[in-house]
Amino acid sequence: MNINGIEINKMTDTVWEIPKHGSMKVPGKIYLSEKMVKNSLTNDEAIKQVVNVAHLPGIQKFSLAMPDIHWGYGFPIGGVAATDFNDGVISPGGVGYDINCGVRLARTSLEYNYIKDKIQNLTNSVFRNIPTGVGSSGAIKKLSPKEIKKILITGSGWAIENGFGTSEDLTLTEECGKLADAEPEFVSERAIERGLDQAGTLGSGNHFLEIDVVEEVYDEVIADVFELFKNQIVIQIHTGSRGLGYQICDDYLKILLEAEKKFDFKLPDKQLACAPLNSKEGKAYLSAMKCAANFAWNNRQIIMHLTKNSLQNELKISDTELGFKLVYDVSHNIAKIEEHKIDGILKKVCVHRKGATRAFPPNSKFIPEKYRNVGQPVLIPGDMGRYSYVAVGTERAMDETFGSSCHGAGRLQSRTQALKSSKGKDLFAELRKNGIVIQAKGMKTIAEEMPNAYKDVSDVVDTMHFSGISKKVAKLRPLGVIKG
């Protein structure tokens, strides 16, 4: 099959390969059903970006894309690439502007029937207590640069030390909520300034907080380990490092675009600006990126605690009755130094996951002991009008995708296209008709994030499920949605 001038060959019902050609260092590999290939790739530049990423110095095995693939900056969103630690590069385009944008899932002991008549009030309460939208601030007092730098080093630990949650939350967060060797000296004053009043804020765009119900359970055994059950009320939080992370990305893109002249890389797209991992510039970006990642984990930790307090105060129930606990927190915009088997040899690599979620298998020492027998929870949000999924990582993911899976539904329409197609529609009424209460700062965000702007997340998740990359555990349905 030829798409936009690029040959793409069907390998299995869910795997497609772009043969290595021209200056590509590795082939491309995309996980998609045949229906999705025809519906989501024909008018998108993302497939060309898969080819472009295959030119990165030191790239290993494949330039990969998950089924939520769509056009992004440099890398496609849904893109995964591992580069050799000694001879490879790190690229901000392979992480994204919103460093450590990720998803956090918390469970409660509440059942749907108990709160079905209180969804509006609960949503209103959380909306009042969680600042949302562009430039939002005020969840907690404005912090000093000194305190921000502590967050950049300690991550979620700062929130726990300041009363926003418990130490158990750290054990149920990817990397325990902190990447080591994060050094604030590599973060600009402007980035620090942008973070001063954004700890505990939700942001805008596709970020959200949802009150969901577990609508379906596919694997009772694993769901039980994750403490999930049918008709249970859960909370889903999707946000990242806010303006601080955006500024770090912006700062280093400029630095690396300038530095590339001395590295003499021959890359097909300047948006793939990169530096050797062992260079001064590469080390500086990696450290700054870790700072932003730690800020994001701390951000989600604070938001989760404020949400718990909102629910408890609105329902006037005890901690025990609420049963509020973190299930897991996973990043989907990050680059991490990991060890993976390449041609049968364990090798240290830098895994770029941009719009892709880690999906480590059972017995991995890098997932919480609580989940070690079953595998890592994989959290895959959909659009605000349909559903989201909880899945679990597999050994096959480690073999094929550097332990990675999809991160969400993936856009079908740009935000501009969504705004145009939403004209004349009462999106609030449509959501209400489906039993969904929504609170947002403005109509523009609702229009940009309308359900039809996204792929059906069930198609995306099924592709991963039938590929054996991540296995479905439960389906969540939104009841109350908060957007910036």
pLDDT tens digits, 208-230: 999 999 999 999 999 999 999 99
* 76 in Cβ contact with 218 (< 8 Å): no
Average pLDDT value for the chain: 93
Residue 424: pLDDT above 90?
no
Instruction: Determine how β-strand 28-31 pairs with β-strand 63-70.
Output: parallel
Of 81-85, 218-222, 448-452, 473-477, the one with minimum mean pLDDT is: 448-452
What whole-number distance in Å separates Cα of residue 363 and Cα of residue 360? 9
In a domain, 281, yes or no: yes
Here the tokens at position 259 are 């530095």
pLDDT recorded at residue 34:
85
pLDDT at 9: 94
Of all residues in the chain, the percent with pLDDT exceeding 90 is: 80
Which pLDDT band holds residue 22 (cuts at 50, 70, 90)? very high
Which range is most confident: 129-143, 190-204, 275-289? 275-289
User: Is 133 inside any structural domain?
Assistant: yes
End-to-end alpha-carbon separation of the chain, Å? 41
Tell me the mean pLDDT in the region 390-395.
98
Q: Is residue 359 part of a domain?
A: no
Active site positions, annotated: 407
Q: What per-residue confidence (pLDDT) applies to 298? A: 97
pLDDT score, position 134: 64
Alpha helix stretches (DSSP H) within 342-426:
395-400, 415-421
Q: Work out the pLDDT band at 383, boundaries 50, 70, 90.
A: confident
Mean pLDDT of 244-263: 94
Using alpha carbons, select from 446, 432, 418, 427 the residue that is nearest to residue 480. 432
Asked whether residue 34 is domain-assigned, the answer is no
Confidence check: pLDDT of 336 > 90: yes
Residue type, 83: T
In a domain, 58, yes or no: no
**43 domain residue, yes or no:** no
pLDDT tops 70 at residue 138: no
Domain at 410, CATH number: 3.90.1860.10
pLDDT at 40: 67
Burial 343-354 (b: 16+ CB within 10 A, else e): eeeebebbbbbb
The DSSP secondary structure of 51-108, one letter per residue, reads HHHTTSTTB-S-EEEEEEEE--SSSPEEEEEEEETTT-EE-GGGT-SSTT-EEEEEEE
Structure confidence at residue 131 as a pLDDT band (50, 70, 90): confident
Full 3-state SS string of 315-352:
HCCCHHHHCCEEEEEEECEEEEEEEEEECCEEEEEEEE
Q: Is pLDDT above 90 for 384?
A: no
Unique residue bearing structure tokens 């590339």: 260
Domain contains 263: yes
CB atoms within 10 A of CB 449: 27
* pLDDT band with cut points at 50, 70 and 90 for residue 133: low
Q: Averaged over 158-177, what is the pLDDT?
A: 97
Distance (Å, whole) CA 35 – CA 463: 11
Query: Under a CB-based contact definition with an 8 Å cutoff, are residues 81 and 53 in contact?
Result: yes
Across 51-60, 160-169, 386-395, 436-445, least confident range: 436-445
What confidence category does residue 39 fall into, taking pLDDT thresholds of 50, 70 and 90?
A: confident
pLDDT surpasses 90 at 450: no
Counting the structural domains of the chain, the total is 1
Question: What is the band of 38 on the pLDDT scale with cuts at 50, 70, 90?
Answer: confident
What pLDDT is recorded for position 385?
A: 85
Task: Give the tokens for residue 32.
Answer: 């998609």
CB-based contacts of 141: which residues, under 8 Å, 6+ apart?
Answer: none
> Residue 143 in contact with residue 152, Cβ under 8 Å?
no
Domain assignment of residue 383, yes or no = yes
User: How many residues can be counted in the chain?
Assistant: 484
- Three-state secondary-structure class, residue 288: helix
Q: Give Cα separations from 125 to 119, 231, 293, 314, 417 (angstroms).
A: 10, 22, 28, 7, 32
The residue-averaged pLDDT of 279-298 equals 98
Q: Does the pLDDT at position 195 exceed 70?
A: yes
The average pLDDT across 269-289 equals: 97
Lowest mean pLDDT among 232-236, 249-253, 372-376, 412-416: 412-416
Q: How far apart are CA 172 and CA 154, in angstroms?
A: 16
Give residue 177's domain range. Answer: 102-336+364-483
What is the per-residue pLDDT across 40-93, written as a single tens digit (0 to 9) for each?
676 668 999 999 999 999 999 999 999 999 999 999 999 999 999 999 999 999
116/93 Cα distance (integer angstroms): 43
